[in-house]
Structure formats: structure tokens, C-alpha cells
Chains A and B, each alone.
Chain A
Amino acid sequence: GIQVEQSPPDLILQEGANSTLRCNFSDSVNNLQWFHQNPWGQLINLFYIPSGTKQNGRLSATTVATERYSLLYISSSQTTDSGVYFCAGQTTGGFKTIFGAGTRLFVKA
């Protein structure tokens, strides 16, 4: 079926630490995106990354479409990185977006 799975579900980091979040997606999903939801509910698009690698400051993402997974790297984490990270994909030809369950990140000062 159509699936987007994220791991780990929860993550606690000390400020300054690095982390890797993973997203596995099924064959009928493409056009991977990563989002950060802040404590006020706002979803911010971090990366639109159907394949390849992109970097934006301390964040980078890699999608290996042939192996159906994507990784989000957070380096030198800060307390403001706390929140929930979602990956989402779109169904092939279906104009429907499927979200993973999210990774809840807490960065301690």
C-alpha cells in the first residue's frame, strides 16, 4: 500500500549534537518533502527533495529514490530546532500527499 514511515518517533539531543532522521516510502510515493512543525503548529517546508542531496545551513537532506528512503541531517542542533519533523510524499499521478507520523525532537540547552 501507500506508506511513509519515519524513525525514530522521538529524539532528545543535547544542544550542539548532530542527528539523522529517516523516512522510508513505498513504491507509489514520490516527490519527497521535509517539514518542521513549530510549537505553534506552523509547518515550514525545509526541503523539496525528490532525489539527490540538498543543504541549507545546518540542515541537509538526501533522498535515494531507487532505495525508497530519505534522510534529514541536523548538525550542531539548537534549542530552536525543537518541534516535530515530518516527511511527506505524493502519490504517483494522484495529486495526494501522504505524511509520515513524524519525529518529535527536543533539544536541551
Chain B
Amino acid sequence: KAGVTQTPRYLIKTRGQQVTLSCSPISGHRSVSWYQQTPGQGLQFLFEYFSETQRNKGNFPGRFSGRQFSNSRSEMNVSTLELGDSALYLCASSLRAHIGNEKLFFGSGTQLSVL
């Protein structure tokens, strides 16, 4: 079974631009969550989607948004990029069929550099 796939692996943007990152979950997994990892703040939760519905959102400005499609694939978008948005963005999938299936599987991440 294929793992969680994130594209692209690396991305370089300039301030003010926008970026879209993609995440394909493990087949059969319906929950996708996104995280930002920086040396200063560690791993921080961005948002979680299940069956195309956002069920929770972390403490990030409105420039960070996401969506999930009917095939469970997810995208996240960051508009008006700032230097501080440079980070490793990780996505994880889980079954979340019911409360007991919460084990998370992560993709390799997208390393975003904002210049």
C-alpha cells in the first residue's frame, strides 16, 4: 500500500506570492491533517479534514487555508507569503473511521523557503 504522498518536495517562493501544497493520503484513509515545523516553534497543528469538512484549525492567520476533495486528497494554500512562513510542511493521514483509529502516518513533507 502506498504511503502518504506530498508534492512538491521543495519549493522556493518570494514574499507576497502564494503557494499550494498537495497531499494524497493512504488509500482508505479519510482524515488528513497538516502541520508546520520550524526550529523555533516545533511541530504545530494547522488544520484537520475529514470527508471534505474541516473539523479543527490551529492558531494560524487566515492566510493559511486548506481543503479536502471527495477522493480524500488535500491541498493547503498560503497567500501573501512572509519570510516567517519558511518551514517544513507535513501532512498526515489516518483512518478516523471512529475514535479508536487515530494512528497518524506522515508524508515526507514539503520544504518551503520564502526569500
Contacts and interface: CB of A to CB of B under 8 A. Distances in A.
Contacts of A40: 108
Interface in A1-50: 31, 33, 35, 40-45, 48
A95 B108 contact: no
Interface stretch (A57-65, A70-78, A86-94): A86-94
A25 to B, nearest CB: 14
Chain A, interface SS category? strand
B106 A45 contact: yes
A97 interface: yes
B56 A95 contact: yes
Contact of A96 (B48, B104, B111): B48
Interface of A: 31, 33, 35, 40-45, 48, 86, 88, 90-91, 94-99, 101-102
Interface of B: 31, 33, 35, 37, 42-45, 48, 50, 55-56, 58, 88, 90, 92, 96, 102-106, 108-109, 111
Interface centre among B37, B50, B104, B109 (most CB of A within 10 A): B104
B72 to A, nearest CB: 15
A75 to B, nearest CB: 23
Contacts of B31: 95
